[in-house]
Amino acid sequence: MQTNTVRSMRFWAVVAAALCLLAACSKNKNPDQPAKLAPIKSTLRVQHLWSAGVESGWFGHGAIARLRLGLGLAVEGTRVFASGHGGEVAAFDLKTGRSIWRTNTHLPLGGGPAVRGDLLVVGATDGHVVALNAANGKRLWTVLINGSVISAPAITDNVVAVRSVDGKLRGLSPVNGHELWEAGQDVPSLSLRGTSTPVISGDLIICGFDNGRVLAVNSADGSQAWQATVSAPHGRTEIERLADVDGPVSVAGQDVYAVGYHGTVTMLALKNGQTWWSHKASSYRGLALGKNAVYMSTADGQVVALNRSNGSVIWRQAALRYRGLTAVAVSHYAVITADFQGYVHFLNKRTGAFIARVRAGGVRISNPPIVEGNEVVVINDEGRMSAYRISPRR
């Protein structure tokens, strides 16, 4: 365990050093500043319902801990689940925010939670994967894999799929955590700080990788069904060649949508990975699907809507540039994203115009909002949750 942790820290120390070097080289070149927010006319009612939180403390690893983006929210029925980097996992009532249970895993959590039925799974940066009973928080099993976990697992009745920073996708038994199979891709010498969350579709598990590829494997044995290139590395330097697919893919019917950094947003065939269309884009977040559109936040902070059928641009909202946007979420009323100052932005699905804005404290929100019916829940990087109900203004 210690060897695994040291290797992980060394690897990400190299990444942090490279990013610091890039920032230092750019400090005298007028780096892009976050866009200032202009007043908007609100046409959507956003009512604050409740606030709650989980312990977000860290084990003394300093600034590296602040790069972790894997801890979001999960909803199952009337419960919302959250976890903190300090090891706490908690369940809350979705309607009221009332605490149902809290469990301290005493682990440096980095990925999750994921929930299906009564099984809740979280991953840790030291390679531990923990399963809890979602009804009461009781620990069911703990296993150690050879790789840090900084994205949420995915769960079916027969397998828990876990992506780790060593380029591996592992299938674990939901019963006891025993490793059933392993698949993966080569890891470039330099990559972004993040890993894609696996997505379940029928008998397939689909996941993005740091080499710009999307891999689909059979959930029963991990055998490869297909792979496709979404973001091909290009350029002279390692930084220019960053091509990670860090956001989860989105699946609708027989279509798979994926986006990569320095690459494209691409529509693939679920059956064989064939590319139907691609549109030049750069994003390290995931995608969200509407009835006729695919929505994304780009690496430079634009929110874009594309036609799901052919990839043509429907609208582009550029007023949030360089504000460190989360991936977007889609509700019946709006496209929703949040930023580095804790603002939650609501955009018209048809035009991209702003229709509401609220501030959930002053701390960065790194993970996408969760939408459940007319309710929206966000969690900031300090583990503070805020829930809202949205409705049209009369």
Q: Which residue has the tokens 């949508």?
A: 257
Which structural domains are found in the chain, ordered by start? Answer: 2-392 (2.130.10.10)
pLDDT digits (tens, 9 = 90+) for 166-193: 999 999 999 999 999 999 998 876 666 7
Residues 6+ apart with CB under 8 A from 36: none
Give the model confidence (pLDDT) of 66-102 as tens digits: 444 578 999 999 999 999 989 999 999 999 999 999 9
Give the pTM: 0.89
Is residue 160's pLDDT more than 90? yes
Share the mean pLDDT of the chain. Answer: 89
Sequence-separated (6 or more) residues with CB below 8 Å from residue 45: 356, 390, 391, 392, 393
HSE (side-chain half, CA atoms, 13 Å) at 181: 16
H or E segment and range at residue 226: strand 224-229
Question: Measured between alpha carbons, how far is 265 from 246 in angstroms, rounded to an integer?
Answer: 12
pLDDT digits (tens, 9 = 90+) for 241-277: 777 888 999 999 999 999 999 889 999 999 999 999 9
Report residue 57's pLDDT band, with 50, 70 and 90 as the boundaries.
low
Residues in CB range of 34: below 8 A, 6 or more apart:
301, 321, 322, 323, 324, 339, 340
Give the tens place of pLDDT for each residue, 133-148: 999 999 999 999 999 9
Three-state DSSP state, 180:
strand
- CA pseudo-torsion sign 21, 7, 59, 81: positive
Take residue 145 and report the two structure tokens written for it: 């894999």
Q: What average pLDDT does range 41-64 have in this prediction?
A: 78
- Say if strands 293-297 and 139-144 run parallel, antiparallel, or are unpaired: unpaired
In the block, tokens 């531990």 appear at 128
The secondary structure of residue 218, as a DSSP letter, is E
**What band does 3 get if pLDDT is binned at 50, 70 and 90?**
very low
What was the pLDDT predicted at 11?
A: 43
CA–CA distance, 199 with 114 (Å, rounded to integer) = 11
Give the SS3 label for residue 26.
Answer: helix
Integer distance in angstroms from the first to the last C-alpha of the chain? Answer: 58
Lowest mean pLDDT segment, chosen from 47-61, 224-238, 249-263, 299-313: 47-61
Helices and strands in the chain, H and E counts? 1, 32
What residues contact 68, with CB distance under 8 A and at least 6 apart?
85, 110, 125, 150, 193
